[in-house]
Amino acid sequence: MKIYIAADHKGVDLKGQVISYLENNNIEVIDIGLKNYELDDYPDFAFKVAEKVVKDKGSLGILICGNGIGMSIAANKVKGIRAARAVTVDDAFKAKNHNGANILALSSEVDLATTKEIIDTFLVTKSGADERFQRRINKILAYENEEY
């Protein structure tokens, strides 16, 4: 499994902890490499990770900002991305299982222990396992491809 990761200035500390956690669990992590500074802009990070995930089939993304909302909105502008903000384990499960999310947007305001549980849930959950969920994902894909 390969995970592309990025964070704006508010999420950079958590990003380092998440990278260590994932690497300690033998998961390949690629930090997209944009430099952080006090007034950086989350869309720059979101677009770059989203583009990598789209090009690298089977990969996933993790984005971290102050609350996760901005990153998810920006990443969802990239065709082929279904980014979801998750602040609970249930959010992570439903993002992946119900909606086929391929990017997890995290809040730097959530404690590390909970963040690890959210990530673990997202990584082990199967995408669109139920027919009704896959039907809904297919409608999103059709709309995105102007076929709906």
Map residue 7 onto helix, strand or coil: strand
Set 14, 22, 65, 75: catalytic member: 65
Does residue 65 have an active-site annotation?
yes
Set 52, 98, 122, 133: catalytic member: 98
With 0-12 CB in 10 A as exposed, 13-18 as middle and 19+ as buried, what is 4?
buried
Task: Tell me which DSSP letter residue 79 carries.
Answer: T
**Which residues are within 8 A (CB) of 117 and not within 5 positions of it... i.e. 6 or more apart?**
89
Residues carrying an active site annotation: 65, 98
